[in-house]
Amino acid sequence: MRSLPNEDDANDCIGELEESEQEFAQAAASLTAAREGLKIARALALPRTGSVQERESAALTSAEYRLALEKLVQCEFDHTLLKLKRGRLEMKFHFWRTLEASRRNA
């Protein structure tokens, strides 16, 4: 069973949030770059001849597009994981703050 957070837990949360800022920013930047990279990969893989449907199909089934899509999926996963981790830390800190406020008012 988990115990209620104490001041040390709150300080740990703040420290972990501060330590993960750069990693989170990097993950967000990588996600943005991967989204743009997917568009670029599609454009580069688009053949110059054929119907619109044939060209689109060829681009979306190309190795370059598939690699860019895999990178996007990994970046999305990494970003989401960090976002959830930071959200959990923030929630724990706010829970401690609420407990402390309740103790002071009691």
> Residue 86 falls within a domain, yes or no?
yes
50 Ramachandran zone, left/alpha/beta (phi>0; psi -120 to 50): left
> Residue 47 falls within a domain, yes or no?
yes
Q: Domain range for residue 34?
A: 7-96
> Residue 72 falls within a domain, yes or no?
yes
> Residue 13 falls within a domain, yes or no?
yes
> Residue 2 falls within a domain, yes or no?
no
> Residue 62 falls within a domain, yes or no?
yes
Distance CA 80, CA 12 (A): 21
- Indicate the number of domains in the chain: 1
The pTM score is 0.85
Distance CA 46, CA 38 (A): 12
pLDDT of residue 81: 98
pLDDT tens-digit readout, 41-86: 999 999 999 999 999 999 999 999 999 999 999 999 999 999 999 9
> Residue 18 falls within a domain, yes or no?
yes
